[in-house]
Structure 1
């Protein structure tokens, strides 16, 4: 294995899905599949054994599902740094929020283009969250359907941030890219990146996905009704 290679574990109960992903990644420089798991429990054990950079995790697996497996991987001290990229289908939307809350750094849709799948693995391995505006809208819709009370009236409970950082967080929550936020606020992209970096630190966020969730849960972004 060469320096800088992204080490990946594939977790899916369908051997054909794993085989397809393995072939795709085997032909790609800089990505190496170091293990496969057919259940969530196997994925957790394998993550502890081989310490991959990324686990591509299916949601629907027998026994321990992908959400519980993600939570278990992120909860363990020896695997807390492993990034989880959830593999889902369009009818899994009800589980996407749970997967992100469990610690996933983003998700793949099973019918994505091959180049997009490889790009997603690289993005997550680099420490970024993968959440496109279209994905964000679906996440909002699912969040809105959850049987939870609406946030109480008053200022959103996001403490220790400046007014500008709050504006940036709101726009991140709406799914805007850094370039779009810069245009919206009439500032440079570099300034947006600096604000996002400070938000990571101040809010203890793992990545951009976590910032999106924080924006919804704090009431900065109102789900559509």
Structure 2
């Protein structure tokens, strides 16, 4: 009688919960305990205790509107939790607060009103190294990314991370909201070639999504304002 092949068991995602409300911490603990692939390793009521979450993979922080607007507090939270990745669980935020949180290092923004399955999906994505934001704010984020690009005079392009001129051009189009098809038309190449360039760039700079690539490019000052054309949403006007 043959022996069935054994498969290595995937390690559970280690979660640390931050919330000032005991009922929120307990509710989240029970929720993740009901789903395979997660293990809550601790919780705390105060951001000052966030350092306890360092040994987790993801810190799920229940953040108030005021907390999300406190830039200094968010920065301290990211530093205290590192190398764990932080997801903000919050009510509807002003898009400027979302953009600033992502710039500071928050890896996910999740509305408290989402379903359990969507919350699980967001945690898995962030644990895998991706960013997580709601689709309805992507367009606004690309506009803000465009506005944040540095003037050409400020940027001596010394660190290119192996990116070619073509790839830098594609990043600049990505930032202002062009999709793959529009980028292909703009560059005079095939859409599948654009996809291959994106895959190559993901590997070169160590990211896994278009949003992450755009944020990385601006953080590392790879793209300057002079590189950017009009946003795709304005091109048809």
TM-score by length of 2: 0.67
Q: Is 1:187 matched with 2:172?
A: no
Q: Deviations over 1:56-103 (max 9, x none)?
A: 123328989885455335436xx5321111222213434212221221
- Which of 25, 33, 58 in structure 2 is aligned with 1:18? 25
Inter-CA distance 216–25: structure 2 relative to 1 (3 Å threshold) = same
Distance 2:69 2:12 in 1: 28
Shift, 1:47, TM fit: 1.7
Shift, 1:28, TM fit: 0.8
Q: Deviations over 1:37-64 (max 9, x none)?
A: 222112x23224xx10000123328989
For the 8 Å contact 2:58–2:126, the answer to whether it is kept is yes
Q: Deviations over 1:1-26 (max 9, x none)?
A: x7511000111223333333222211
**Which position in structure 2 is the counterpart of 1:8?**
15
For the 8 Å contact 1:173–1:221, the answer to whether it is kept is no
Secondary structure at the residue paired with 1:84? strand
Secondary structure at the residue paired with 1:55? strand
CA RMSD of superposed structures (Å): 3.9
For the 8 Å contact 2:202–2:208, the answer to whether it is kept is no
- Which of 17, 28, 33 in structure 1 is aligned with 2:35? 28
Shift, 1:156, TM fit: 7.5
For the 8 Å contact 1:83–1:124, the answer to whether it is kept is yes
TM-score by length of 1: 0.70
Which consecutive residues of structure 1, in runs of 5 or more, have no partner in the other structure?
none
- Which of 126, 129, 137 in structure 2 is aligned with 1:127? 129
- Which segment drifts farther, 7-16 or 127-136? 127-136
Larger-gyration structure (1/2)? 2
Which consecutive residues of structure 2, in runs of 5 or more, have no partner in the other structure?
1-8, 185-190
1:131-210 aligned at under 5 Å gives the runs 131-140=133-142, 151-152=150-151, 160=160, 161-174=163-176, 181=180, 184-185=183-184, 186-187=191-192, 189-198=195-204, 200=205, 209-210=211-212
- Which of 94, 98, 103 in structure 2 is aligned with 1:96? 98
Inter-CA distance 70–208: structure 2 relative to 1 (3 Å threshold) = farther
